[in-house]
Amino acid sequence: MKKYMIVLSIFPILIWSMILLTEMVDFDLPLVIKAVIIVFGFLYLPLVWLMQRYRLTRLYRTSPYLTEPLSGFITNDKLHLENKLGQCDLPWTVFIRYMENDDMVLLYQSPIIFQLLAKEFFVSQENWERAKREIITNIQSKRA
């Protein structure tokens, strides 16, 4: 992963420095090479986005945990999750924060590890609203 990040940071710097360098000194690159440098400079961000999308899609397809249907329930003490691979009881004290919107709740166990609870996880809109209230109440009360 570190090699990937180094390449991502060095590549645009290299491309744009080559463009600036050729403009500042009296060294003139052939027009074809300048065109290639400029094209790669503009294609950099879309290529990074496509590479990340490919890696995430591949990760999702190869992970049995992510592709299996998930069920569970919420109590005052814990979040219980299960699928055909196993089950898990997560007490509210393991969550350090939450983020919510109309369609999902992210329950953070660390700055980069979270559980996603989507609206589709619940049977009805009423259950979804009640679960969101309980999640917020439980996490706030356990942190205090």
Looking at 62, 80, 105, the residue that finishes a domain is 62
Same domain, 51 and 101: no
Instruction: Please name the residue ranges forming H helices in the chain.
Output: 2-24, 31-62, 64-67, 125-143
pLDDT at residue number 66:
77
| Rounded Cα distance, 96 and 108, in Å | 6
| Rounded Cα distance, 79 and 88, in Å | 8
Looking at 18, 43, 62, the residue that finishes a domain is 62
Helix (H/G/I), strand (E/B), else coil: 84: coil
- pTM confidence score: 0.58
Same domain, 9 and 43: yes
Same domain, 89 and 130: yes
Same domain, 48 and 73: no
Same domain, 43 and 75: no
Structural domain harbouring 55: 2-62
pLDDT at residue number 51:
87
Q: What residue ranges of the chain have pLDDT lower than 50?
A: none
pLDDT at residue number 27:
63
Same domain, 73 and 135: yes
Same domain, 54 and 74: no
Same domain, 89 and 43: no
Same domain, 72 and 138: yes
pLDDT at residue number 47:
83
